[in-house]
C-alpha cells in the first residue's frame, strides 16, 4: 500500500453531489423533529415566563395585546435562529439532527446558505398548514423529502460525523 503524495493533500476534495448522500428515513427524521420541537416548546415557556412573570406584562385572553405580539415575535425569531441559522452553519444541523446523526444539504450536497435555510424554515409553515401531510411526503418521495424540503430544494441526509 503506497502512501499519498504530499501534493495530493493540497488538492481540493472531489465535489459531493446530493445524489451520492444517503437520505434520512422517516423515523429518524421524526425523532430529530421531536427533539427540536421539545427545544422550541421549552423556549416558548421561557419566553412566556419572562414576559409575564419577570416583566409583569398582562395577559388578557379576551383581546390580543402587546404581550401577545411580543411573545410571537420573540418566539418566531428564536425558532428562525434555531432552525435557519443552525442549518446554514458549518454543520448544517439543529440539536435534534445532531443527536440523530443527520444534516441538511442543498442540491449540490453542501450545507445550505442562510437564504435557502430561511426559505426552508418558512416553508415549514406550509407543512404544518397541511396538517402534517407535507411531512408524510417523506414516505413517498424518492429522496425522502418533506414538503418544506421540496419547496426549498434541500434534503436531510445521514451524516457520518460524530455528534459534536
Q: What are 93-151's pLDDT values in tens digits? A: 999 999 999 999 998 899 999 999 999 999 999 999 999 999 999 999 989 999 999 99
Tell me what pLDDT residue 81 has.
96
At residue 7, the 3 state secondary structure works out as helix
The reply to whether 99 falls in a domain is yes
Any idea how long the chain is? 164
What's phi and psi for 106, nearest 5 deg?
-95, -170
- For residue 82, what are the domain limits? 24-157
The reply to whether 164 falls in a domain is no
The overall average pLDDT reported for the chain is 85
The reply to whether 15 falls in a domain is no
**Assigned C-alpha cell, 22:** 444517503
The reply to whether 162 falls in a domain is no
C-alpha dihedral sign at 46, 47, 48, 49: positive
Instruction: Using pLDDT thresholds of 50, 70 and 90, give the confidence band for residue 3.
Output: low
The reply to whether 17 falls in a domain is no
Tell me what pLDDT residue 8 has.
45
The reply to whether 119 falls in a domain is yes
- In the chain, the number of structural domains is 1
Tell me what pLDDT residue 62 has.
65
User: In angstroms, rounded to a whole number, what is the distance separating the alpha carbons of residues 128 and 148?
Assistant: 10
The reply to whether 18 falls in a domain is no
Tell me what pLDDT residue 125 has.
95
Amino acid at each position: 500500500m503506497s502512501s499519498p503524495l504530499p501534493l495530493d493533500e493540497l488538492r481540493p476534495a472531489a465535489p459531493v453531489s446530493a445524489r451520492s448522500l444517503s437520505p434520512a428515513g422517516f423515523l429518524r427524521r421524526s425523532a430529530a423533529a421531536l427533539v427540536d420541537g421539545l427545544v422550541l416548546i421549552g423556549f416558548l415557556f421561557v419566553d412566556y415566563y419572562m414576559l409575564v412573570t419577570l416583566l409583569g406584562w398582562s395577559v388578557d385572553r379576551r383581546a390580543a395585546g402587546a404581550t401577545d405580539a411580543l411573545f410571537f415575535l420573540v418566539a418566531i425569531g428564536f425558532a428562525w435562529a434555531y432552525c435557519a441559522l443552525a442549518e446554514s452553519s458549518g454543520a448544517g444541523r439543529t440539536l435534534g439532527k445532531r443527536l440523530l446523526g443527520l444534516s441538511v444539504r442543498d442540491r449540490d450536497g453542501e450545507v445550505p446558505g442562510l437564504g435557502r435555510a430561511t426559505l426552508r424554515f418558512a416553508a415549514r409553515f406550509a407543512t404544518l398548514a397541511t396538517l402534517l401531510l407535507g411531512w408524510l411526503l417523506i414516505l413517498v418521495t424518492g429522496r425522502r423529502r418533506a414538503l418544506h424540503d421540496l419547496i426549498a430544494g434541500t434534503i436531510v441526509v445521514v451524516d457520518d460525523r460524530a455528534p459534536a
